[in-house]
Chain A
Amino acid sequence: MSFEIAGIAILWTFLFGYLIVASIDFGAGFFSFYSILTGHENKIHNIIQRYLSPVWEVTNVFLIFFVVGLVGFYPDSAFYYGTALLVPGSLAIVLLAIRGVYYAYNTYGNHGKNSRIYLALYGATGLLIPAVFSTILAISEGGIIEQVGEKVFFRWREFLTNPYTWSVVLLALVSVLYISAMFLSYYAKRAGDEPAFGVLREYALLWSLPTIFASFLAFLQINKQNPAHFERMVDMSWMFIASFICFVIAVSLVWKEKYLGWCFIAVMLQFAFAWYGYGRSHLPYILYPYINIYDSFTNRTMGIALITAFSLGLLVLIPSLVLIMKLFLFDANYVRGNAGKKKG
């Protein structure tokens, strides 16, 4: 594997990590709010809080990792994306800020009562943030960022009137809810919390069909937006078929209320196949047609240094992640809420 490919594979993997953990987080925010509106609050609130509290910080790091790594491996991307995305990027920062602070406020500063306005804000950011981020995928297909001479422009009109933009936003919204509900069902089942499981299972089934429809829609829109990319996707169609098979497995397992651990693994595989299939067919471009991984790669020494740092970092990171999962995800007592009740 060349350095160029290794670099983008690392970044893509981090973004996939973010996709999964952030979806759980964002979706949970929305469900918290939604459950209050529908009177299911006390059924699922505890489950959500117990999972999210120890891991909320970790979620953000995946994102920063991606941004820092992208600019590190491909410094040109800072120039194009940075210049063009000043406004949407700042919007994303503000949304993340509202969410992060609300989170700390709700978890540590507020005893008991949830204010509806805050929860609505929390739920809304949970849907808006993925929508904002997903538009980058649309932008990367080309036609929205344009260079004229030395300057880089963001074409708002093309961006907003582009059907692909909206199909990606739709896909992001529904898959966040689907992934989140799938995970929380699994978590509730482990906790032996049947009422929560019942509610969350319904959510998971409810959002499964829209997710698959939105995927097809986005798939078709790529054909219009960037036919060359679509052709490469067709060449790798086995990955998308594998993704669909995983989807069928996941939904049937949650339907039968069996093997929910495997069910969530199938969800992750479903998205992994689609994600890597999409990413692979997108290559060699990071931003069509300005940034491709071969021309914009950083110098060789930095490439080696980054990959070395990454490998060494993983040696520390993976055991720590395993530890946090063991303590909070796979510790039956904690999941049931018997241990660690006292907050720090």
Chain B
Amino acid sequence: MAVDTVLWSRLVTGLTLGFHVIFATLGVGIPLMIAIAEFIGIRKKDPHYILMAKRWSRGFVISVAVGVVTGTAISLQLALVWPNFMKLAGNVIALPLFMEVFAFFFEAIFLGIYLYTWDRFKNPYIHWLLTIPVVAGAGMSAVFITTVNGFMNQPEGFVMQAGQFTAVNPVQAMLNTATFSKVFHVLSSAYLTGAALLAGIAALAMLKRGVSAYHKKGLNLMMAVVLVFSLLNTLAGDVSAKFLAEHQPEKLAAAEWHFETESGADLILLGWLNAEHEIIGALHLPKLLSFLAFGDFNAEVTGLNEFPPDEQPPLLVHYLFDLMAGIGFALLAISSLYFLFVLWKKRNPLNKWLLGLVALSAPLAFLAVEMGWFYAEIGRQPWIIRGYMRVEEAATSSPSVRILFFVFLLLYIVLGVICVLVLKRLFNNNPAELEMEKWLQAKQDKTAANTENGGHA
């Protein structure tokens, strides 16, 4: 029975986090895009960009609602589903958890102000300034919560004595060796995903209703952000891989199906394992794993066989890793291609195929975020605090956790469906071009004739 409740505890947490991460990523990524759009709009005096910021923030609020709700769920579930973990680790991770809530508090206050003060200030930059605490609060809460995850992967800043953490240094625990690469990767992928989503929406709108000035500007702007953060994200992934190779070799080895320790190790893409753990049908890139891990084609990479069998992560993580990395490179390729077409005048960057690819990159980006988190979390099995506490010691002993899985599953299905329906209703009946026209009309009525600049569908 005990093992059973552990499995259900993991499923409940995986479900909640898997759902929350979609909205958490939006929560971190979108505010920056809103801030950029509003700034450009004020700077260029271009109402298209202002409208963009308005429409994005309107949709953003819906996702924030779901994010707040699921975030509340996970913060309570930490203590409810993993009471023994919190009892032990609470002594070390309470500080970043506390600070995360502070950052979120800060963001919540200014988001409320931002949303309700459009047109309230004479100087438009004052309203724009409100985005800074929102972007900073969102980013900081991601940073703090990621340090907690970093600690669980790379526990530091304490001494273990008689089953208790003593001589605790909470700041050292926050700034553990895993923190930098994790924070870098989490932030860059959140901004990348936010931009990919907005670019994808613009592309989809143009595929459906034809090219419009509003969506063209939105697409250009967001593809530029996608390009920048794809590059940064690739770099972040590389930093993470090098961190793993040095500090958590079993996780990297499991992801790469690298069983024997050897120098000049091959990078293995896809493929499958037969009953004897031999790799079949995979693409081998000679010596590339050594290069990825240590920046040296002949470096020695620790193999999975060095670790006792009950400390090896499941081998399934290989696919999660490949999928995540593959999508990362695909996004980089798509955004590069787009700007190649923009610069190379003979080609049309708004052709159907490229728009289709851009539209596709939005769901792909979310898929990559999910795959990345599942890889990071499953790849740390069997530990909850790597090297100190195994998941079966941490889970609740209550058998009710099994029923709760289904309760929460139902809840998230309902939340997801409502969220999609609300967003659809919000935007489908009110296309940007129409809103732009109405808005300009209203302005025209107010002040004497002003030249109308674009905005027709």
Q: Which residues of A contact B (CB under 8 A)?
A: 53-58, 60-61, 63-65, 67-69, 71-73, 75-76, 78-83, 85-87, 89-90, 92-94, 96-97, 100-101, 103-105, 108-110, 151-152, 298-299, 301-302, 305-306, 309-310, 313, 316-317, 320-321, 323-324, 327-328, 334, 339-340, 342-344
B109 touches A101 (CB 8 A): no
User: Per a CB cutoff under 8 Å, which of B68, B109, B418, B419 touches A321?
Assistant: B109
Say whether, besides A55-B112, A83-B396, A75 and B91 are in contact (CB < 8 Å).
yes
Do B94 and A68 have beta carbons less than 8 Å apart? yes
| Contact between chains at B61 and A104 (CB < 8 Å) | yes
Picked from A82, A301, A316, A323, the residue with its CB within 8 Å of the CB of B83 is: A82
Q: Which of B58, B99, B404 contacts A90 (CB 8 A)?
A: B404
Q: Is the CB of A85 within 8 A of B80?
A: yes
Q: A109-B425, A306-B95 are in contact. Are A316 and B166 (CB under 8 A)?
A: no
A309 to B171, CA, bound (A): 11
* B422 contacts partner chain A, Cβ-Cβ < 8 Å: yes
Question: Interface majority SS on A: helix, strand, loop or mixed?
Answer: helix
Contacts of B421 in A (CB 8 A): 109
Residues of A within 8 A of B113 (CB): 54, 323-324, 327
Instruction: Return B216 CB to nearest CB of chain A, in Å.
Output: 24
Binds A, one of B70-78, B190-198, B232-240, B316-324: B70-78
Query: Are A344 and B87 in contact, CB atoms less than 8 angstroms apart?
Result: no
Min CB gap B439→A, angstroms: 10
B58-105, CB < 8 A from A? 58, 61-62, 64-66, 68-73, 75-84, 86-88, 90-92, 94-95, 97-102, 104-105
Task: State A68–B145 Cα separation when bound (angstroms).
Answer: 12
In the bound complex, do residue A339 and residue B120 qualify as a contact, i.e. CB atoms below 8 Å apart? yes
* A309 near B102: Cβ-Cβ < 8 Å: yes
A86 and B91 in contact, given A57-B64, A103-B65, A344-B61 (Cβ under 8 angstroms): no
Q: A67-B75, A87-B400 are in contact. Are A104 and B116 (CB under 8 A)?
A: no
**Do residues B91 and A344 form an inter-chain contact, with CB atoms below 8 A?**
no
The listed residue (B68, B105, B119, B411) touching A94 by CB distance below 8 A is: B411
**B76 adjacent to A301 (CB under 8 Å):** no
Contact check, B415 vs A101: say whether CB atoms are below 8 A apart: yes
A342 touches B118 (CB 8 A): yes
The 6 closest A-B pairs by CB, nearest first: A72-B94, A104-B65, A75-B90, A82-B83, A109-B422, A78-B86
Residue on B nearest A66 in the bound complex, by CB: B101
Please measure, in the bound complex, the distance between the C-alpha atom of A85 and the C-alpha atom of B86, giving whole angstroms: 14
Q: Can you list 15 residue pairs at the A/B interface with Cβ under 8 Å?
A: A57-B64, A60-B108, A61-B104, A68-B75, A71-B90, A82-B82, A87-B398, A100-B68, A299-B168, A301-B170, A309-B95, A327-B117, A340-B116, A340-B118, A344-B57
Q: Is the CB of B68 within 8 A of A60?
A: yes
Q: Which residues does chain B contribute within 8 Å of A63, judged by CB atoms?
A: 72
Q: Are A316 and B102 in contact (CB under 8 A)?
A: yes
A180 to B396, CA, bound (A): 37
B274–chain A nearest beta-carbon distance, Å: 42
Complex Cα gap A246–B83 (Å):
41
Q: How many residues of B contact A (CB 8 A)?
A: 78
Q: How far is the CA of A78 from the CA of B76 in the complex (A)?
A: 10
Q: B285 contacts the other chain (Cβ, under 8 Å)?
A: no
Known: A54-B113, A58-B108. A342 touches B119 (CB 8 A): yes
Give bound CA distance, A54 to B68, whole Å. 15
For A68, what are the chain B residues with a Cβ–Cβ distance below 8 Å?
A: 75, 94, 97-98, 100-101
Other than A54-B112, A72-B94, give 18 A-B pairs with Cβ distance below 8 A. Answer: A58-B112, A64-B104, A67-B75, A69-B98, A79-B84, A79-B87, A89-B80, A90-B407, A96-B73, A104-B62, A108-B58, A110-B425, A301-B168, A309-B99, A317-B102, A317-B109, A327-B116, A327-B117
Query: Given the known A-B contacts A54-B115, A101-B66, are A302 and B87 also in contact in the complex, defined by CB atoms under 8 Å?
Result: no
Q: Are B426 and A299 touching (Cβ within 8 A)?
A: no
A320-B86 contact, Cβ under 8 Å, with A68-B97, A71-B94, A103-B65: no
Within the assembled complex, what's the spacing in Å between the Cα atoms of A320 and B108?
Answer: 10
With both chains docked as a complex, state the minimum distance between the C-beta of A311 and any C-beta of chain B, in angstroms: 11
Known contacts A104-B62, A317-B106, A339-B120; A75/B115 CB under 8 A: no
Given A100-B68, A305-B95, CB of A86 within 8 Å of CB of B170? no
Contacts of A302 in B (CB 8 A): 91-92, 94-95, 168, 170
Taking CB atoms, residues of chain B closer than 8 Å to A75 are 86-88, 90-91, 94
Asked whether B401 is an interface residue with its Cβ less than 8 Å from the other chain, the reply is: yes
The reply on B397 being an interface residue by CB < 8 A is: yes
In the assembled complex, the Cα of A323 lies from the Cα of B113 at a distance in Å of: 9
* Chain B minimum-CB-distance residue to A107: B61
Most B CB within 10 A of own CB, among A60, A78, A109, A344: A344
Q: In the assembled complex, how far is the CB of residue B11 from the closest CB belonging to chain A, in whole angstroms?
A: 14
| Interface residue B184 (Cβ < 8 Å from any Cβ of A) | no
Question: A309 contacts which chain B residues (CB < 8 A)?
Answer: 95, 98-99, 102
B35-73: CB near A (< 8 Å → 1, else 0) gives: 000000000000000000010011001101110111111
Nearest chain-A residue to B170 (Cβ)? A305
Q: Does B187 contact A (CB under 8 A)?
A: no
Of B64, B88, B98, B425, most A-chain CB atoms within 10 Å: B98
In the complex, the chain B residue whose C-beta lies closest to that of A328 is B116
Q: Does B371 contact A (CB under 8 A)?
A: no
Q: Answer whether residue B297 sits at the interface, using C-beta atoms and an 8 A cutoff.
A: no
Contact B68 A57 (CB under 8 A): yes
- Is B341 in contact with chain A by the CB < 8 A criterion? no
A299 pairs with B109, CB closer than 8 A: no
Q: Whose C-beta in chain A lies nearest to the C-beta of B430?
A: A111
Give min CB distance, B436 to chain A, whole Å.
15
Residues of B within 8 A of A104 (CB): 61-62, 64-66, 422
Q: B374 in the interface, Cβ–Cβ < 8 Å?
A: no
Let me know if B108 and A87 touch, CB within 8 A: no
Known: A83-B397, A89-B76, A109-B426. A299 touches B69 (CB 8 A): no
A133 to chain B, nearest CB (A): 11
